[in-house]
Amino acid sequence: MRFMEQPLGVEVVCPDCEHVRLDPDEVTVRVCIDTVEWSYWFMCPLCERRATAGTRQGPALEAIAAGSPFESWRLPAELFERHDGPPLQLFDLLELKLDLMQPNLVEALRHEI
């Protein structure tokens, strides 16, 4: 990501189209509060797909100052949970797969609640 003053714009990188120049309001800047990692996303005007990439704080703040929307997010709380049960085994996955193959699984679960 690179901020450009003349003309005003943000140069971003689409994985398929490489460097693309956009208006600042077309690039959403994001920061993960837990890791302080900066990134951005945009809809690429060339391939019309959503693209995302990491960036550094400096260019991110310049894009925000120029009008880019800003989002913050946190890592899922589940990452910090402690689990005391036994680790998941291959057998557990096979058992889950067999359970999911039951045609009346939802009804069976409703009766157990």
Binding site for Zn ion (CB under 5 A): 14, 16-17, 44, 46-47
Q: Using CA atoms in the order 93, 98, 101, 103, what is the torsion angle rounded to 10 degrees?
A: -130
| Minimal distance, residue 2 CB to Zn ion, in Å | 17
Q: Would you say 14 or 63 has its CB closer to Zn ion?
A: 14
CB nearer Zn ion, residue 43 or residue 66: 43
Compute the distance between CA of residue 101 and CA of residue 3 in angstroms, rounded to an integer.
52
Looking at beta carbons, which residue is closest to Zn ion?
A: 44
